[in-house]
Structure 1
Amino acid sequence: MSRPTLRHPEFSPNSILVNTSSDVVGIIDWQHAVILPLCLCAGIPHHFQNWGDPLSETLSKREVKLPESFDQLSHEEQETVQETMWRRIFHFYYSALTMKSLPDRFDAIRTENAKLFHHAQAPWEGDSVSLKYAMSRVLKNWPMSLDEEAQTRSVECPVHFCEEEMQKCSEEHRQEQEKLQELNEMRDLIGTDALDWVSDEDELERCRSVIQSIKDCSMEHSSTEMEKTSVLFHFAFDDHEENP
């Protein structure tokens, strides 16, 4: 787990060179490559991994059958179901092949060390809920040793939470992930990109119509004045460029 390991920064089909016989003859785009202990750099390539999905997090085999109501779904809903299924399948089979061919790397993937390490070096975005959750995971997994010798040393974890705080933190993180999932689903329904941009004026009008429908529905199901105020004045997809 502690041996130095070279990891490609963004391994993808675009980084692989092949000849006319389809033999791999080179790997390019090595800038920003890192050499770290295996337990900190082992992972699933971005194009295959599906972290954040509760089913994929378990690394268990995924269901490959379409739901019985699949044919009754709209084209957009079918695409969503298929995309979710493919992401889970890719995630599982990459993990399964790693377990078979590189068991030590699979053990490193299963630990939370690498995910916590990459989370720690990410730019701060003011998300205190995710930060506290990551810190609570450090405490739960302590000692996060790189080798057996280090495990014999008694080093106190610098992070401290009581059991009640740990449970509260975990629940807040779960609720936040649910809200983020809902936000992504709304963005997919509306049809905007990750920055909430649209392609042209016609598409803008269509998006505004969908947004208004979502907003009206949210108002209808708001049970408190605070919720209604949030929908009216802090709705995530309000057009702030629109003239008052």
Structure 2
Amino acid sequence: MKRVYLIFIMSCLFLSISKAQTLIEQVERAYSALDSASYINKIVLSYAKSLEKNEEETYKLLYSPDSDSMKVAQWFNRADSMYLKYLQKHKILNEPAIRHFENEVKSGIPLYVLNLKLKDKQTLQVDTGRLAFNLFYFDKRCKGRLYVYCYDGKYGWHEDGYRTFSRPLGRNAPKVFRKIMRKQPKYLLFCPELEGMNTILYVINNEVFIYRIVEMEKYKLDDYMKNRTAIRNS
């Protein structure tokens, strides 16, 4: 009986280690395939497309006759020339914003922060979308002058400060980043499905750790994932 129990414990331990190694291998593979110069250009293009998409949505809200998809499609076919003129006009108007964004992302050396996703309740996996890295531009105090986030394989948003929804988060974020960067992590990782902006992950010595920013608490990723509900409710 003791032998069976020991085998069971060893199997669980092996599975836990295998999962961690699998995530590390995925992370290593993603970073080894990263071409930083072309990636920046792809983000700029995605940003430009996001502006164009916003103009399309605005046009539909302003001029579309109703919400019926068939009628909208027919109406856009009839109004095609006006629609194209509208988009062309706003494409020209958007050019200064695109140039400004391009200058910002190319004026410094960012940290490439890889996105992770939940595979199941206890396992994370690497985001394999076309644009899977966020860009963090830290100053010496790790306050950051620019944060560019990608979501679902494309540009999501950017801000000149770490996005916060509470004073403790805004106050603690630079402190946490300083603590992490002093450890010289190999990689920074981000998984919004865990606790949104309140968590940041990093890799040291082939181990993944997670920091809860408001609480100023650090965990090994495996420990956090096993006890995630209890930790969040504590």
TM-score (norm 2): 0.25
In terms of fraction of residues, the more strand-rich structure is 2
TM-score (norm 1): 0.24
